[in-house]
Amino acid sequence: MKFFKLSILFSLLLFVFSCKNGIVENPGIIPQPNFISYQKGTFEINENTIIVIEESKEGQWIAGELKSFLKDHFNLNLGVSSVVQDNAIHLKLSEDLEGKEAYQLEVSEKGVLINASSYQSIFYGLQSLKQLLSPKMIVSKPILNYVTIKDSPEFGWRGMMLDVSRHFLEKDSVKKVIDILAMHKMNKFHWHLVDGIGWRIQIDKYPELTKKGAWRKVKEFKKPWEDFEATYKDGDGEIYGGYYTKDDIREIVAYAAERYIDVIPEIEMPGHSEAALQCYPEFICENTVNTGVYCAGNDDSFEFLQNIIDEVVALFPYDYLHIGGDEVGKEAWLNCKKCQQRMRDNNLQSGEELQSYFVRRMEEFIHSKGKKLIGWDEILEGGIPERATVMSWRGFDGGIEAANAGHDVVMSPATPLYFDYNQGKSEFEPPSWGGYNNLLAVYNFNPVPKGISEDKKHHILGGQANLWVEQIESLTHIQYMMLPRLSALSEALWTNSANKNEDEFIKKIDVHFDRLKALGYNFSWSALSPDYEISYDKVKKEFTLQLDNELGIYDIRYTLDGSEPSINSELYSKPIHYSSPITIHAQTFRNGEAIGFSLKKMFSTSFIDSAKITYINPYDATYSAGGDLALFNNRYANPRGDDSNWQGFPHKDFEIIIDLGTPNDLSYIGLNFFQHLASTSVMLPTEVTIAISKDGNDYQTVYNQALETIHDRNPIIKRIETNFEKQNLTFIKISAQNRGVLPDWHIRKGDAWIFVDEVSVR
């Protein structure tokens, strides 16, 4: 584990010092320009400064954006002119620059000049200028150092996907998401409008898609995708949903276009279509249930989708239309007479080849409409249409295969670009789908992995993050999952790798936090939340606790008495050594303010070299957590089923006997159990018993409790703990009763699992 980066802290102090007179040496720009050089001298924007730009509608809109920024930040009301003059902010179109996204920004004694190849690149230069003049709490006066910036992006596809099917997002909130993309020079907004549990776009030819497919019944103790049932807005009981009218779509597309962002619609096919098929069941395979898959043997299925696409392409004036194509179940096809006939007629040997037929047929239609088909990497299976573009989400392999075969590729691997994954390790993180994609992992993302032939690398268009909203219900939660990770991604996609520097990014993101705060965004401080590492010295019989945060900056203060840390608590400056149990409570402080989530853990010392554990029922090899002593390694599992610190027991009870090796005076025993009904088969035990013994023969029960069944679908960590009169003991017996099989009301079938972690004693 790294310690605090003192050079970064020192640079931050110098930066703050340089801000006292309103002159900022280098507030940092995200994404990092590909060339930037500061010179001696400053220019101050004042009430006589003029914004110079040609008299076009597009130019005047950009000038208005700059006017509003200067008015809000410095109470300056600048005039706009098309006449070139000194003491001006000149926004100039130039034919000398190559590429529609290239710009140059120069600050000199004459003023500010943004020289750009297009209005789009003027807009990007404006974003850089805004960052040089913000945040307001640091840049108190509109004073700019002389600087020269020459900049253009490394990749042409810099995007983010937002799912609005699982949870609907109102029109004005979608615009706020677009604002965040725009300030980071992102240029693609992939809009996931359709999925299995919600249809969100008006289609005139098929009105039931929004009359019914856009609404669902809310069912007690069930997540939206569990036992999904489309209904009508005015139906009985609690109803959830919403959709965008065509006018809404046009408004959002126009809003994004003003900010030079292409909106890429996604219309899922052939799978993930339960909502549409509940509205129009005639497109389900015959004699099968609705699995969310269109019947590939029914020509009417294709006509239905082609009619939808006819209306969709009229709303989105950009090159691409996304068809999904992921996670398509083939069972219905393989049991459908029409699908089997289709396979025979076209000499198709598998369900994958039938899916390829489906995608190829739709690609031909989409191409006839002047659009390019793009789909998730499953469209590679069974053969891919010649003109198709692949979006690689299951790692890099699909993208590598597609690029080497001559297909354009957008890299969006779940690790590290699924923004519905946690960005911090704290158990207090808001609901997420699971997984862990931290800030610096996103920053170090490279869309061009090894394995792509040199002459094929140009097929990598760029990359994008994906934000699925199964667990995310509000704009504030969306902002939290986006930021600051989108800031890191913007630099990964804009800046040439030779010009990237992680330490410099950490300094810049620290300033950027204040920009985001000033804009009122609900961003995450997870990268500054304390984390820990424990080591044990067998010779000294001493434990060592180290504290840090991901970015390695700012003070961590802590207590060992159970109290909440304050700015006056002990400053962490060196590892903490201990040989008896401790409870650490740690918190990061930035400029005197507590930020991020606190760390509160108890660490035992009784499980040293002589301790042994006997399992009455073995743990599952897939969920071993590292082996027999994993329950005593001082690493607490987080509330995620994929956390490798959980030890798993299917069907049978959890029963262990701990031999401490030597007698210990103890008065407390505790351990954690996990449950996540929405996405795992892991449930809390029905009963837990803890007993203690001096000799391993005669046991005294110190805890016995039946646990109430909890129907909450969200992740739960249940802490079981018992305090008892201090006793000298050597053996601990713990048992937790497994319910054996999942109850009938559970969405899954089969064995119930118990997940357990970290037995603590003192």
The catalytic residue positions are 195, 272, 327
Q: What are phi and psi of 715, to 5 degrees?
A: -60, 140
Buried b (16+ CB within 10 A) or exposed e, 605-631: bbbbeebebeeebebeeebebeebebb
Contact 89, 82 (CB under 8 A): no
- The DSSP string of 185-252 is T--EEEEE-EETTEE-B--TT-THHHHTTTEEE--TT--TTTT--B--TT-SS-EEE--B-HHHHHHH
Q: How far apart are CA 665 and CA 725, in angstroms?
A: 10
Q: How far apart are CA 425 and CA 634, in angstroms?
A: 15
Question: CA triplet 686, 690, 695: central angle to 5 degrees?
Answer: 150
Q: Which amino acid is at 292?
A: G
Contact 222, 678 (CB under 8 A): no
Q: Which of 670, 736, 719 lies closest to 427, judged by CA?
A: 719
Beta strands in 331-439 (DSSP E): 372-376, 389-392, 409-411
Q: Which of 498, 399, 373, 413 lies closest to 453, judged by CA?
A: 399
Q: How far apart are CA 539 and CA 553, in angstroms?
A: 33
Q: How far apart are CA 200 and CA 195, in angstroms?
A: 9
3-class DSSP state of 50 = strand
The length of the chain in residues reads 762
Buried b (16+ CB within 10 A) or exposed e, 656-674: bbbebeeebebebbbbbbb
Q: Which amino acid is at 377?
A: D
- Beta-carbon count within 10 A of 524 CB: 24
- Beta-carbon count within 10 A of 410 CB: 28
Q: How far apart are CA 21 and CA 100, in angstroms?
A: 37
Q: How far apart are CA 729 and CA 611, in angstroms?
A: 13
